[in-house]
Amino acid sequence: MKMTVLLAVAATALAMPALAAGGHCDADLKAVDAAISKAKLSDADMTKVKAARTKADQLHKAGKEEDCEKSLAEAQKLLGIKDAHKH
């Protein structure tokens, strides 16, 4: 019984960072979406932003949250969005 409880606690502790990171990518995607509609970028920069956003969405759906956030980094920079997470 004690071993089962310990294993459950350990599994939960290991899963927490992954669950917490999931919210970051989702929030970052929403922030990029909001900024795109207001952005005044060159066509080339907007193409970069949209490509990064598309790639990030695919990574997010695949559960690759860290890669998702990395993909959004350039888009956020071009859009003037500061990374509030500081990973």
Is pLDDT above 80 for 18?
no
- The C-alpha torsion from 37 through 68 and 50 to 30, rounded to 10°, is -10
**Which pTM does this prediction carry?**
0.68
pLDDT of residue 1: 61
Is pLDDT above 80 for 22?
no
